Structure 1
Amino acid sequence: MRSKPLIRRSPPAGTNAGSPVAMPPADLRVAVVGAGVVGSCIALALRKRGAAVTLIDRDEPGRGCSYGNSGAISPASVAPLAMPGILSSVPKMLLDEESPLHLPLSYLPKAVPWLMRFIASAQPSRVALSAAKLAALHTGAIDRHEALTRELGVPELFVRQGHLHLYPDARALAKDADGWRMRLHYGYAFTQLDRDGILALEPRVAERYRVGMFMADHATIVNPYRYVQAMVRGFAVRGGRVRREEVRAMTPLEGGRWRLATAGTADGAEDCFDHVVVAAGAWSRRLLDPLGVHLALESQRGYHVQFQGGRSTVSRTVVLADRKIFLTPMEEGLRVGGTVEFGGLERPPDPRRAAILERIARETFEDLDGVQATQWMGHRPCMPDSVPVIGPAAGRRGLWLAVGHGHLGLTDSISTARSIASSMLGARSIAAEFENGRCAQSRPK
């Protein structure tokens, strides 16, 4: 039997759910747990609005999932991972070592509950609803990131050169037709290219790729880690506190306040907060489950290969769409990332997954011969329907969630921060707009 959901994704429009009614922002003491791109952006937004904010993470800010992402700002990514027909791909997930969506057979028993929700999310009506919510959350992402990089003094990190998706042929493109129709529905423009058109943009692409889809207005952050670090510096300069500690437990107190127990510090007044925002990515369930706040959250383990050079191999985000691989010209060299592996938080990285990325990159771009590469694996937090949980936890006054952004944490970090800050401090939120059925399109159709 499916349990009754304990989370709502946003407060009703016009309400101030989860907040003390008469407390001015300057008196609010807020803890943000998780210093990835989402948590750091939330902490900055709350501090800029006057709240006394403490950002807490067991690691250096930006060193988790945010460190290794592809840097793509991709508001046109409105198609959820679970699409109609996904059930037919499950056998390949289990049997094909090189499948872009990989599930080790030994992890299947633990993955079954999430997979059942994932498959249910692929019903056409639910896909349409998820796409509408994602489109609304993505609204304005490109311009907002450009503005924030300028505000933080790192405009060089923002590059608006477009995104180029590559396919071997028209038949391969047809397999993604539903996703491109969704982009078009939400007003995102793209141009279909032949082989000559591809080479005009990216002359080093191998002969394998004959068809391209180019979104000229999309953008890339060429060092996501440095971007998060700049956010945290901006937060600290404004008086925000940063603590490198592991939050072990969260205890609700009378009056809606919260006590945080952290490794290396004793419980005490200094650990009491009026609000707590959980933005701890794939580790969020460890804090929320003991509170009876249950999320269908799974780690989508993502790998990347960082070539120590080769940045000129491509001049923009390039997607090998048939293999679900992203290539990005990062500050320190070419980054090749992608694929999804279900394996939980404890299973060690599988070097074979990164080796597949490296081999494909070398096959696609000859100028990578002899260039050394390093490997990385991180945990993307993902909901079955690909829609993050943003807003107050039902029945838990003062507890806020910003969890489950999957592949789109960078894209949606600013919108998520605006939603949390506006809801907590009394204004209407972006999340309230799309949750209540008034989904504003990203652009006119």
Structure 2
Amino acid sequence: MAVIGGGIIGICAATLLSEAGCGVTVFDRTGICEETSSGNAAAFAFSDVLPLAHKGMIRHLPKWLADPLGPLAIPPAYLPKLLPWLIRFWRAGAAKHYETSLATQAGMMKLAETEWMDLLDRSGTRPMLREDGSLEFYESEAEFRASLPGWAERQRFGIGFRHVEGEEMAALQPGLSPRFVKGTFVPGWK
């Protein structure tokens, strides 16, 4: 059996096929986990369940497009080709779709975490996993307050976190710039 692509999906598929007794060869044009899977720092953000498409997101689009280092950088010449997808993405962010998208994403992440941990256990590689958690930082009280509805949504789906500041924040991230006034620690981030 041939698996095309040596990213996380291809490797997991190859592992499951091999465990089922199939002979498997993985083909990748550059090498195992050297493309898309190399850019995620080998981190699994199972707590990131908030839909990217959401009400109000579209108002950020001009600022994001104007910033070449922003979260959405599209070469101007490519924009007409991408426009149909952007319209579908915008529609998916309608308030009437948000709850379903959130519940679906949370369910997928819970399943992915369970399956991933099981795979690590079966392969004997779980001791190699670092479970240090992650920190999100805020440069102002207003920025922190704006994040609270998202944390409330995560809490509804059993995602653990705690808000930190001062000495606790400094202990979690030594040498942190003083411009950050608060943070949120997510212990389940792997």
TM-score normalised by L of structure 2: 0.87
The one-letter code sitting in structure 2 at the alignment partner of 1:203 is P
Q: CA deviation at 1:88?
A: 0.6
When you count helix as a share of all residues, which structure comes out higher?
Answer: 2
d(CA) in 2 for partners of 1:72 and 1:62?
13
Which residue of 2 is the match for residue 63 of structure 1?
A: 34
* One-letter amino acid of the structure 1 residue matched with residue 95 of structure 2: P
Distance 2:135 2:116 in 1: 20
Specify which of 86, 99, 104 is matched with residue 133 of structure 1: 104
Q: Following the alignment from structure 2 to structure 1, what is the Cα–Cα distance between the partners of residues 45 and 65?
A: 29
Q: Secondary structure at the match of 1:115?
A: helix
Structure 1 counterpart of 2:4, from 33, 58, 61 = 33
Residue aligning to 2:183: 212
Match of 1:109 in 2: 80
Q: Give 1:148's match in structure 2, choosing from 88, 103, 119.
A: 119
User: Of 151, 155, 159, which aligns to 1:184?
Assistant: 155
1:72 match:
43
Choose between structure 1 and 2 for higher RCO, CA contacts under 8 A separated by at least 6 residues: 1
Cα gap change, 1:217/1:90 in structure 2, threshold over 3 Å: closer, same or farther? closer
**C-alpha displacement at 1:103, in angstroms?**
2.4
Q: Looking at secondary structure, tell me which structure has more strand per residue.
A: 1
Shift of 1:174: 2.9
Secondary structure of the corresponding residue to residue 114 of structure 1 = helix
- Output the CA distance in 1 between the equivalents of 2:69 and 2:4: 35
Distance change >3 Å, CA 94–CA 215, structure 1 → 2: closer
State the structure with more CA Rg. Answer: 1
Mapping for residues 178-257 of structure 1, pairs under 5 Å: 178-219=149-190
Aligned length: 190
Q: Which of these residues, 41, 46, 64, is aligned with residue 93 of structure 1?
A: 64
Q: Which amino acid aligns with 1:173?
A: F
Amino acid at match of 2:48: S
Q: Deviations over 1:193-237 (max 9, x none)?
A: 122221021121100111111122332xxxxxxxxxxxxxxxxxx
Contact 2:47-2:188 within 8 A present in 1 as well: no
User: Can you give the 5+ residue segments of structure 2 that lack an aligned partner in the other structure?
Assistant: none
Conserved 8 A contact 2:46-2:188: no
CA RMSD of aligned residues (A): 2.1
- Deviations 1:263-289 (Å, cap 9, x if unpaired)? xxxxxxxxxxxxxxxxxxxxxxxxxxx
2:142 to 171, 174, 178: 171
Counterpart contact for 1:93–1:101, Cα < 8 Å: yes
Alpha-carbon distance in structure 2 between the residues aligned to 1:91 and 1:177: 24
- 2:129 corresponds to which residue? 158
Look up the SS of the partner of 1:160 in the other structure.
coil
Question: Structure 1 length as normaliser, TM-score?
Answer: 0.40
What displacement does 1:80 show?
1.7
- Counting aligned pairs with the same residue, the percent is 31
Which of 47, 50, 71 is the aligned partner of 2:18?
Answer: 47
Contact 1:93 1:103 in 2 (8 A): no
Shift of 1:45: 0.7
CA separation of 1:217 and 1:98: change in aligned 2, threshold 3 A: closer
- Greater mean deviation of Cα atoms: 49-58 or 158-167: 49-58
Structure 1 pair 67–185 and aligned structure 2 pair: CA distance change class (3 A): same
**More moved, 96-105 vs 85-94:** 96-105
- The CA distance in 1 between the partners of 2:134 and 2:61, in whole Å, is 29
AA aligned to 2:172 is L
Superposed displacement of residue 156, structure 1: 4.7
- Amino acid in the other structure paired with 1:51: C
Q: Deviation per CA, 1:367-399: give whole Å up to 9, x if none.
A: xxxxxxxxxxxxxxxxxxxxxxxxxxxxxxxxx
**CA-CA distance at 1:192 after TM superposition:** 0.9
